[in-house]
Amino acid sequence: MDAVTELKVQTILALAGAPLLTLGAVLAAGLWSARRFPERALPGVLAAALALALAVAWGGLVGYPTTLPPIDRKLWVPALTLAVPALFALIDRSGKADRLGVVAPLAALTIIGSVTLVFAPILGGEYAPADRVGVGAALALAAWLSLDRASRALPAAPALAAVCFSALGAALASAMAGTALVGQALGGISCVAGVASIIAWRVPRLTLGAAGVAALLTPYLATVAIATLYGELPVTAAALFLLAPIGAATALFARSVVPATLLAALTAAVIAAGGVALTRQAEAAKAAQAAPAEPAIGNPTSYDQL
């Protein structure tokens, strides 16, 4: 196997293979163990499957923490992807997850806590000024509550489809902005959410619950923020990617699962496409600024080789 083939196999395994196997295995085990109750909704099963699969997708590409606290703050993400849904699962079990007054403050605290853990070294400085972080957190909260509202009123498929297309757009934009690995992690999130959406459409007892929303949004929002604050994703594009899962709320206007899913996916995709277009524009402007007046002799190649 040559080096190029090896790269593709390794990346595909980390990005899609291992996470989808995890998702499938946990869902199969959950459905098997609940086979005595064929009519009962299973929010915990989908949330657990998503949390594990997304932690595997993120950690397999970017890394897992080897120390606590991790030296590299980004490595909080797989730990938070497992811990935050567990916290929201308690709210699901207590029966208080339907109350906005319970979910909203907890979501806000989660966003503030995650931002503090992941971005502590630069928070408030030139790379992560307080106003920018504050606006980002507000957009993230709006997306969280929209997804929560949709997941309580509808089957899981529309919300999952909205996150799938939001993450796909963010993945393309991150790769475009020169953060390939973080872009691949977003690709992994998109892939897991997309496959889970198809499964949830076929198996309607798999509902998201507050824990499932937390499992989806914790890694997604954190990774978009990493691509922006530690990477070069334009701030305006990042704002759209933080907001894109709000598309799930448009599914509330549809009466059955298929149009609801299509509506949610389309809205999220349109918002995310705006983010991709802004990123493309910013990269083109950067390239035009950096271009030498005359072509460099003997150096006609681009960064494509890496």
Partner 1 sequence: MKFASLGLALALTGFAAPAAAQTFAIDNSHASVLFFAKHFGFSTTAGRFNTVGGEFTIDEKDASKSSVKLEIKVDSLETNDAKRNEHLRGPDFFDVKQFPTATFQSTAVKASGDTFDVTGDLTIKGVKKSVTLKLKRNATGEDPWKNVRTGFDGELVINRNDFGVNGLPPVVGPDIKLWLSLEGIKK
Contact residues for partner 1, defined by CB under 8 A: 3-4, 6-7, 10, 63, 71-74, 121-122, 127, 178-182, 226-227, 229-232, 290, 299, 301-303, 305-306
CB of 263 to partner 1, least distance (A): 34
CB of 282 to partner 1, least distance (A): 12
**Closest alpha carbon to 231 in 270, 291, 186:** 186
CB of 231 to partner 1, least distance (A): 5
CB distance 214 to 86 below 8 Å: no
CB distance 111 to 221 below 8 Å: yes
18/161 with CB nearer partner 1? 18
CB distance 122 to 231 below 8 Å: no
Cα separation, 149 vs 151, whole angstroms: 6
29/120 with CB nearer partner 1? 120
2/39 with CB nearer partner 1? 2
180/266 with CB nearer partner 1? 180
CB of 60 to partner 1, least distance (A): 12
Distance of CA 35 to the CA centre of its chain: 30
4/101 with CB nearer partner 1? 4
CB of 297 to partner 1, least distance (A): 13
113/125 with CB nearer partner 1? 125
CB of 246 to partner 1, least distance (A): 26
3-class secondary structure, 72: coil
113/121 with CB nearer partner 1? 121
CB distance 73 to 121 below 8 Å: yes
Sign of the Cα torsion 102, 23, 76, 139 reads negative
CB of 61 to partner 1, least distance (A): 10
Task: Quote the longest CA-to-CA distance of the chain.
Answer: 73
Across the strands, what pairs with 128? 123
CB distance 278 to 193 below 8 Å: no
3-class secondary structure, 123: strand
Q: What is the CA radius of gyration of the chain?
A: 19
Distance of CA 66 to the CA centre of its chain: 23
